Amino acid sequence: MKKIDVAVVGSGIGGSLFAKLNNDKNLILFEKDSNLGGCASTFKRFGHHFNTGATTFVGYEQGHILKNMFDKVGFVPDITKSNIAFRTIQNDKIVDRIKDFDEFLENLDKNYYHENNRVFWQKIKEIDEKFWQLKSVYFSKYSLIAYAKTANFVFELLKNYGFDVLVSAESFINKYLPNISKEYKAFIDAQLLITLQTTSKNATLLSMSLGLAYPFHDVFYVNKGMGNIFDDLLKDVDVRKKEEIKKILKKPYGFEVQTSKDVYFAKNVVLNSTLFDSKKLFDDKDIQKYYDKFEFNDQSAFVIYLVLNTDKKLLNHYQIILDKEIKNCISNSFFVSIANENDEKLAKNGLSVTVSTHTKAKFWNELKSESYTKYELEKDKTVNEILRNLKEKLDLKDNEISLNFSATSSSFNKYINRINCGGKAINISNITQLASAKTPFKGLYNIGDTVFAGQGWPGVALGVDVLNKEFND
């Protein structure tokens, strides 16, 4: 049995960042799949490469957590700055989410005019800017020191934001954008569903501000696919691809980690699995009871992958907002990521495109169990509706799409071992139950999009930063 200091389970954003930061230790990163990155990976199928999720890369700029973290380990990602973070298209309304505030506001007013637009969006921008200037961002539990540091963070939040911390997103919208049009509200909520996994109905003002303001930062296109970041970042880390964790047994001074290939003894285990999926790895009743506290998040992604052969000049990212919910989904919008035409990997023999929207995880799993034929039939209905709207909004012809296939929660479970994709929303009702990376069990930690601070590269990186400080103090 090989003895190691740290076993990191899963190469998603959290696991990969933590592994790189602690590469000086006797550490192994285990990944079930042949591709690194989890929900943010890049895979090859039918001779083409595709990003697993339709997404942007943000947070790599001076003073922000991701840039600081990459600088610390001496890593420079292969990325290209985007002039337009993404373009929203809703009926005849087109708004480009760009960094320049006044230019964005001018475009917004032409499409969704409201006399308080400047006041509303200026407040959103200021709240976001304040957050990234906070010095004591921290959230942890299960020790007096952890609670003290967390209390210090809460104090800093209150000092900077006052009662704004307690304000709901919906009440803020009603106050500053009274009588907001249905289309305008859908414009806001569609963006929040992408960034926060929820809408303004359940979000806080702070989370809404972070979710809406990210295009005011530098946003990038990742050359050769999002997975390229993980491949480059982890070059000198001991990574075991296609080695799945089967069971983790709690021992007096650590954990016995049983994989599909070997058995290890680890003093520490860092799980990049979701909180509600972690229980199945353990036999220990106390650990199982701990993970039972976290409810399963029945939200996932419905994703279409396609190859586009066209001479049209297209942006890298679009969000298409429809008038009603998409068939078999819980969203009226979908997000589109299109390869840069000069990308040597994603634009080889056609542009790689990933289209994603929100759906229920259990729906697809139960449907597939009930009837594979019906499962495929319902998938086709959803694909056809999305593709019809995609072609209409981007003025594409049938013959310009040379290949398409789709993925549901069942697909994600097969390849990356999770049926929900996109994390769990942090909202007003569950903020007090937010999980920290640290667990009550010595040497056992969770990281990723279901613990503090949640979604996307910046959110997960914040959680990694907190864990890294705790782990090395």
- The backbone torsions φ and ψ at residue 270, rounded to the nearest 5 degrees and listed phi first, read -115, 115
Q: Whose CA is closest to 273, among 72, 58, 439? A: 439
Residue type, 319: Q
pLDDT (0 to 100) of residue 427? 57
Task: Please state the three-class secondary structure of 149-175 as a single string.
Answer: HHHHHHHHHHHHHHHHHHCEHHHHHHH
Rounded average pLDDT over 143-151: 91
pLDDT (0 to 100) of residue 206? 92
CA distances from 326 to 3, 123, 387, 393 (A): 50, 32, 11, 15
More confident residue, 107 or 452: 107
Rounded Cα–Cα distance for residues 223 and 240 (Å): 24
**Residue 1 pLDDT exceeds 70:** yes
The confidence band for 432, taking pLDDT boundaries of 50, 70 and 90, is low
Contact between 203 and 196 (Cβ < 8 Å): yes
Q: How does DSSP assign 7-45, residue by residue?
A: EEE--SHHHHHHHHHTTTSSEEEEESSSSSSGGG-EEEE
Rounded Cα–Cα distance for residues 410 and 331 (Å): 19
What is this structure's pTM? 0.94
Q: Whose CA is closest to 422, among 371, 361, 349? A: 361
Spell out where 156-299 has E strands: 219-222, 239-241, 245-251, 254-259, 263-271
Sorted by where each starts, the structural domains of the chain and their CATH numbers stand as: 2-79+224-296+424-472 (3.50.50.60), 115-214 (no CATH)
**Residue 422 pLDDT exceeds 70:** no
The confidence band for 454, taking pLDDT boundaries of 50, 70 and 90, is confident
Rounded Cα–Cα distance for residues 184 and 437 (Å): 37
Contact between 450 and 52 (Cβ < 8 Å): no
pLDDT (0 to 100) of residue 424? 59
The confidence band for 396, taking pLDDT boundaries of 50, 70 and 90, is very high
pLDDT (0 to 100) of residue 163? 82
Q: Whose CA is closest to 264, among 18, 9, 16, 23? A: 9
pLDDT (0 to 100) of residue 425? 59
pLDDT (0 to 100) of residue 257? 98
Segment 98-138, tens digit of pLDDT? 999 999 999 999 999 999 999 999 999 999 999 999 988 99
Which two tokens mark 454? 């949640």
Which two tokens mark 307? 């190859």
Rounded average pLDDT over 204-229: 95
pLDDT (0 to 100) of residue 453? 83
pLDDT (0 to 100) of residue 411? 87
Q: What is the percent of the chain where pLDDT is above 90?
A: 83
Rounded average pLDDT over 289-300: 87
Lowest mean pLDDT segment, chosen from 52-61, 160-169, 283-292, 362-371: 160-169
Which two tokens mark 319? 């969000």
**Residue 423 pLDDT exceeds 70:** no
**Residue 36 pLDDT exceeds 80:** yes
**Residue 429 pLDDT exceeds 70:** no
Segment 336-376, tens digit of pLDDT? 999 999 999 999 999 999 999 999 999 999 999 999 999 99
Rounded average pLDDT over 217-244: 97
Segment 296-323, tens digit of pLDDT? 778 899 999 999 999 999 999 999 999 9
Residue type, 51: N
- For the chain, what is the mean pLDDT? 93
Task: Quickly tell me which residue has 């709690």 as its tokens.
Answer: 250
